[in-house]
A and B are shown apart, each in its own frame.
Chain A
């Protein structure tokens, strides 16, 4: 055994953790090497010192302080329990509501289409109307920024229409008897997307 090997096993040797064969080799090396013997003695001293460090006694009131703090926490918890329950109920309602709205949301493609969708409530397609019954009513999504046009038999009549809160209203006058065609075009200013809807209806009698 050389000095390097001896020192690498010194700690285990001192603590009596080596097998018999290794211990014998260590003892043999100790007998012949004064440097390693000095090292061994130092190791023994440090081992004795470390093993001789006594435990420190914790301060007397420590346990009392711990239990006091825990009692205080428990009291606080009990006091807050009804409030916590109420808050949990509100949180649960909120989560359910959000989940419901989330599940009900339109898919992204539908949402984009809805943004510029126009719903022509009147006139209905291929329907017969008396002249004073004819009303063009279109519903838009009010929160978006649109540009729209209404054509009646190919003529732009946008300026005659009113646009109030997402509803477009046109009351054409003096329509001749016969088929008429109404076309509503809408363009979303943000995305530039557009949609159109047209209807053919029959107007009775002369206006």
Chain B
């Protein structure tokens, strides 16, 4: 592939997937600046590997796989660094103050709480939640991207949602106790 063709293809990929890949990474790690750097890495990696792309999967599956693998590796490195530097994860705003039936107020709190909580969900649940809810991917597409069965996608999605739900309820209770 000629340089010009590769660049043209890259721009097409950026048009279609820049925001999505950024969101995927952002929700995986919960850090805006780092998501920017990792997104940049992903597109550069993809650009370098464009010649090797065999068209066995669609561009988005291929790109998502690069993004997921690259982010996982970066997270692994970071968690090792954290382990050695004994850093604690940032404390999360968390416990619920308003009553759950306060409608909009509760919803606002819960949405904020969920956003904060997602990056600390176990990896396998987080990935499917991000792809399904935030990226609007179907079960089939998620199964292809992650290389797992559709049944596993469904069960991980359900388990991830249960964890978030349990955590929300727990936060509500603790919040009320501390009032």
Give the segment of B71-79, B86-94, B106-114 that binds chain A: B106-114
The count of residues in chain B whose C-beta lies closer than 8 Å to any C-beta of chain A is: 36
Interface flag for B145 (CB, 8 Å):
no
In whole angstroms, how far apart are the Cα atoms of A12 and B134 in the complex? 18
Query: Of the candidates A48, A52, A59, A70, which one forms a contact with B47 in the assembled complex, judged by CB atoms under 8 Å apart?
Result: A70
Which residues of chain B are within 8 angstroms of A58 by Cβ–Cβ distance?
18-19, 22-23, 36, 39
Q: A55-B23, A56-B23, A74-B3 are in contact. Are A66 and B44 (CB under 8 A)?
A: yes
A11 close to B19 (CB less than 8 A):
no
Give the segment of A39-47, A141-149, A161-169 that binds chain B: A39-47
- Give A9's nearest chain B residue, CB to CB: B158
A55 close to B14 (CB less than 8 A):
no
B23 close to A11 (CB less than 8 A):
no
What is the interface residue range for chain A against chain B? 20 to 34
B22 close to A56 (CB less than 8 A):
yes
- Chain B positions 2 through 38: 1 when the CB is less than 8 Å from some CB of chain A, otherwise 0: 0100010011001000111011001100001000100
Which residues of chain B are within 8 angstroms of A67 by Cβ–Cβ distance?
10-11
Interface flag for B152 (CB, 8 Å):
no
Q: A43-B165, A46-B165 are in contact. Are A55 and B134 (CB under 8 A)?
A: yes
- Give B107's nearest chain A residue, CB to CB: A49
In whole angstroms, how far apart are the Cα atoms of A61 and B99 in the complex? 41
- Chain B positions 131 through 166: 1 when the CB is less than 8 Å from some CB of chain A, otherwise 0: 001100000000000000000001001100100110
Q: Chain A interface secondary structure, helix, strand, loop or mixed?
A: helix
Interface residues of B in 59-112 (CB under 8 A from A): 107, 110-111
Which residues of chain B are within 8 angstroms of A53 by Cβ–Cβ distance?
111, 114-115, 133-134
Which residues of chain A are within 8 angstroms of B169 by Cβ–Cβ distance?
42
B168 close to A50 (CB less than 8 A):
no
Residues of chain B whose beta carbon lies under 8 Å from any beta carbon of chain A: 3, 7, 10-11, 14, 18-20, 22-23, 26-27, 32, 36, 39-40, 43-44, 47-48, 107, 110-111, 114-115, 129, 133-134, 154, 157-158, 161, 164-165, 168-169
Other CB < 8 Å A-B pairs besides A11-B154, A55-B19, 10 of them? A45-B110, A50-B114, A50-B161, A52-B111, A53-B111, A56-B26, A57-B19, A62-B36, A66-B14, A70-B10
